[in-house]
Structure 1
Amino acid sequence: MKFLLRLLILSIVMPVEAAGQEFVLKDSCPPSFELRDSGCYLVSRYQFYDSLQNRGVGGTQTGLPEYRDGFSPQQIDLGRYLFFDPILSRDGSLSCASCHQPDKGFSDGQARSIGIDGQVTRRGAPSLWNVAFLKRLFWDARADSLEEQALGPLFAPDEMANTPLQLMQAMESSEHYPALFAQAYPQTAEPLSLENLTHALAAFQSSLVSLNSRYDRYALGHHQALSEEEIAGMNVYRSFVARCAECHTPPLFTNQQVAVIGSPEPEGLPLDVGAEKTFNAAKLKGGFKVPSLRNIVRTAPYMHSGRFDSLREAVEFYTKGRGHAVPDGVQMQIHWHIWEPQLTEQEIDDIVTFLDALTDESLMPSIPGRLPSGLAAVHDNSNNKHNPPREHSDE
C-alpha cells in the first residue's frame, strides 16, 4: 500500500508532458558494440590477441576470456531503465544503482552496503565494470550468471527486500513497462516475466565495458600513454617480487579465482568465512573472489568489507607478512602467492600510481532522466533517500 501510494503521488506531481510521453527503447547498440543479426557484439582490440600466445603472467598482449554479448539493443536499454528504477525494491526506495553507483566505479563508497530501512549488509558492493567477462559473481562466488546474481539483492531482506509476487504486480500495473518488455522480447509468449527482467538487467550490465584506459593504450602499442612513474609502478606490479599480476592478471586484472589472503574484518565484526560456505570447503575459509582492479581508484574502501580506506593501505597489506592479520586460533590456508615481498615505501607508492592508469569510464551509460515507473531515478544511497535525476540525462 505504501508503495502504491508513492506511485500515485509521484504521478500527480510529474509534468503533464512527461506523464503522457511514450517510451521507445533504443534500436542502436552502446558504444564499442556492433549491431549484427539484431544483437550487439563487443568490438575490442584485445580480440586480436590469442591468450595462448602470451603465457607470461602480466603480459600486455593477452587476449580476453569468454564473455557475454549478443543482447539486442532493446534488451540493453530496458535493462538500463530497470537498473536505475526503484520500482524493483519493496517500498520504492532503492534501485540497483543505489549500491552500484556510476560515479563510484559502480560500487557505492560504503565499507558495507546499505539496504532497505538503512540495514547494513555484510559486505561491500563489488564494481560492475567488465562483469560480462566474469565466470562467477558475488564476493563468495556463489552465483555463476548475472541473472542468478540479480535475484539475490532483489529478494534479500536486508537489501531490496522485494518478493517475486509483489515485484511482478508492480511491473504489470505500471503504465509503461508492459509495452517496453513487449518491445524487448517480441518473440516470447509472456514478455513481462521475472526471467526476462533478470535477463534485461544482465544485458545492460554486460554492456559496462572498461578496456580503454591509459594502460590499455600503452599495452596496445602507444607507449607514451603512461608516465615514467606509472611505468615504474607497472614494472613493480608485474615483478616476481610483488607478484600482483599473478592474481590480478591483465587484461581484466583478475584471474577470476577465489583466494584466501587473510584480509582482516572491520573492528568488532566476526570472521566472514566467505567461499568456504559456497563450496563447503574448509580450505576456502576466508576466501573471496579476486576482484578486478579496473577503475579501482573509484571504488574505495577496499576488501570485501571495506577494511581499508585507501588504496595505499590495501597495497601495503600485502607486504606486512603472510597471514599477519589472521585472528588468533583461526586456521586459514593462505594462498601461496601471498608472501613477504618487503616492498619499499617507494615501490608501494609506485604501484598505487600505476593503478590510477587503469581508470577508464569512456563507455559510461547515461542515467535516465525519467523512468517508466514514474519514480525518480535512484543512483545514490546517501541516508537511504532518493537523489533527483541528473541534469545531463538523455531523456
Structure 2
Amino acid sequence: MDIKKIVLRGVIFMTFVCTLWGLVSLGIKDSAYYKVPQLNCDCPPGFKLNENNECIAQNLYMAYTTENDHGVGGLKTALPKVRDGFSPQQIDLGRYLFFDPALSKDGTISCATCHDPEKGFSDGLAASVGMNGYQLTRSAPSLWNVAYLKLFFWDGRAKSLEEQMKGPLFSKEEMNNTPDNLLNTLNNIDNYKVLFEEAFPNRNNNTITLEEIYTAITAFESSLISLNSRYDQYAHGYHKALNEKEIEGLNVFRSFVARCAECHTPPLFTNQQIAVLGVPEPDGKPLDPGAEIPYNDKTMRGGFKVPSLRNIEKTAPYMHAGNFNTLRETVQFYTDGRGHAVPENEELRIHWHIWEPELSDDELDRLVDFLKTLTDETFMPEVPTELPSGLSNTNHNS
C-alpha cells in the first residue's frame, strides 16, 4: 500500500479517536457547564494583575497627590480611594450575574434591566420599572465609576455596593427575591456551581453563599471605569482635546459665578454629599423627602446625593425623578433662582450654592458643550451572549 495512504489513514483514525474521546470527556461533567466559557483570567482594561491574582486600578490620576477635599481644585487632582483588588475570575463571574435575570424571583429582571450599558448604565426612564410593571418613584443612577463612591441610592442610605445591591434584589417592587430563594436558585444551576468554585477557590465547601454573590457583583461593578474622556485628555495636558467653545464651558463650570464644580467636583465630578436643591416633582406628585428619611434629619428634606456627571450625555432624563429631558433644561434650572421650584407650603433648606448666577443663554449653551466632553465608554464591558442559567439577557426596560 502506498505510504501516503497509510499515513493519511493513520491521521484520520487518530482524529476520530481524539474527537470520540473529547465527546466522552464532555459527558463526564455536566454538559450544561460547557455552554458558558471559562472565567476570564485577565483583568479588564484599566486594571493590572498583581502576583496575588488581584486586579489593581491603573490610571493617570494616580500620578497626582493632591486630594480635592475642598473647593474646585485644579485639573490635575487625585481621585478618592478606589474599590479594587478583586480577582479577574470574580469580576467575570459578576458580569454574568449582573446580566442574568435568574437573580430575580421570576427570572424576568436582571441588574442590567435598570442599568443598561447602552444607556449609560441607567435605563432612560424618568422612573424605573420593577416587578410586574410596577413603576418606582426614582430614576436609575448610572454605575460608571461607582468604585470611587461612598454613598449609594439617591437618598444616600447605603454606604457600600454590597449594601446597595440588597435593596433591589430583595425589594418586592423591584427584583422581588429573598436571600433563601436566591441561594436555592443559584445552587441548583450547575454552571454557576462550577463558576463559583473557579472564582472562589479557597472556599470551605461547594455551596454558593450570599457573600460570594455580593462580592462577585461588586467586583464587576467596580470594574466600570470611565476616566478617558476628552476632558481627561485635556486635564492631562493635551489641550487640543477640547475646542474653544468647550473650554469656555469648562471655565463657566469652574467659575465662582456658576459654581458647578463646588458640588460636581473634578475629577469624579461629584463631592459625594447630599444637597437640597428644591427640584420640582413631575406631574404634581408630592415632594419626595429624599435623605430626610434614612438620616432622620428635617434639614435634609428634599435632599439627594450629588451625582457624578461622567457620561451624563448618555443618561437622560435628569434629576432623581427624571424631571428634565435635556442637559439644556437641566442647566437652566440652576440659573432660574434659588428655591424657585420649591412646592408651596414647603420650607426647604436649599443648598447655599444654589443661588442666582444669572448665566446668559450663551453661557448655558457652553456648559452643555462642556458636559458632553465627559463622555467615555472606552472600557465598556462585553455583554454575555449566553448566561449560566440559560435564560435570555434581552430583558432591558424600554
- Give, in whole Å, the separation in 2 of the partners of 1:201 and 1:124: 21
- Give, in whole Å, the separation in 2 of the partners of 1:67 and 1:142: 20
1:38 aligned residue (53, 66, 73): 53
Rg: which structure is higher?
2
Q: In structure 2, what residue type is equivalent to 1:32?
A: G
Query: Which position in structure 1 is the counterpart of 2:86?
Result: 71
What is the deviation of 1:244?
0.2
Q: Deviations over 1:332-390 (max 9, x none)?
A: 100111100000001000000100000000000000010000001145112xxxxxxxx
2:342 aligned residue (314, 326, 347): 326
Q: Deviations over 1:110-167 (max 9, x none)?
A: 0000001000011100000000000010000010110111110001111111111111
- Give, in whole Å, the separation in 1 of the partners of 2:137 and 2:334: 23
Secondary structure in 2 aligned to 1:318? helix
Q: In structure 2, what residue type is equivalent to 1:65?
A: P
Q: State whether structure 2 residue 277 is matched by structure 1 residue 257.
A: no
Query: Which position in structure 2 is the counterpart of 1:117?
Result: 132
- Give, in whole Å, the separation in 2 of the partners of 1:380 and 1:129: 18
Query: Which position in structure 1 is the counterpart of 2:97?
Result: 82
- Give, in whole Å, the separation in 2 of the partners of 1:98 and 1:141: 22
Q: Which moved more, 1:298-307 or 1:179-188?
A: 179-188
Q: State whether structure 2 residue 347 is matched by structure 1 residue 337.
A: no
> Does the CA contact (< 8 Å) of 2:121 and 2:142 recur in 1?
yes
2:376 aligned residue (352, 357, 360): 360
- Give, in whole Å, the separation in 2 of the partners of 1:285 and 1:302: 20
Can you give the 5+ residue segments of structure 1 that lack an aligned partner in the other structure? Answer: 1-16, 383-395
Q: Which moved more, 1:48-57 or 1:35-44?
A: 48-57
Q: What RMSD over aligned residues (CA atoms) do the two structures have, in Å? A: 1.4
What is the deviation of 1:22?
4.9
Q: State whether structure 2 residue 174 is matched by structure 1 residue 159.
A: yes
Secondary structure in 2 aligned to 1:198? helix
Q: State whether structure 2 residue 228 is matched by structure 1 residue 212.
A: yes
Q: Deviations over 1:221-247 (max 9, x none)?
A: 000000111001111111011100000
Q: Deviations over 1:18-73 (max 9, x none)?
A: 87535311111001100012100000000011124896515201101111000000
Secondary structure in 2 aligned to 1:328? coil
Q: In structure 1, what residue type is equivalent to 2:95?
A: R
Change (3 A) 1:215 1:20: closer
- Give, in whole Å, the separation in 2 of the partners of 1:78 and 1:128: 17
Query: Which position in structure 2 is the counterpart of 1:23?
Result: 37
- Give, in whole Å, the separation in 2 of the partners of 1:18 and 1:151: 29
Secondary structure in 1 aligned to 2:35? coil
Can you give the 5+ residue segments of structure 2 that lack an aligned partner in the other structure? Answer: 1-30
Q: Deviations over 1:262-307 (max 9, x none)?
A: 1111112111110011110100000000000000000000000101
- Give, in whole Å, the separation in 1 of the partners of 2:385 and 2:299: 48
- Give, in whole Å, the separation in 2 of the partners of 1:45 and 1:20: 39
What is the deviation of 1:317?
0.3
Equivalent residues in 2 for 1:94-173, closer than 5 Å: 94-173=109-188
- Give, in whole Å, the separation in 2 of the partners of 1:203 and 1:54: 26
Q: Which moved more, 1:163-172 or 1:85-94?
A: 163-172
Query: Which position in structure 2 is the counterpart of 1:11?
Result: none
Q: State whether structure 2 residue 250 is matched by structure 1 residue 234.
A: yes
- Give, in whole Å, the separation in 1 of the partners of 2:377 and 2:193: 32
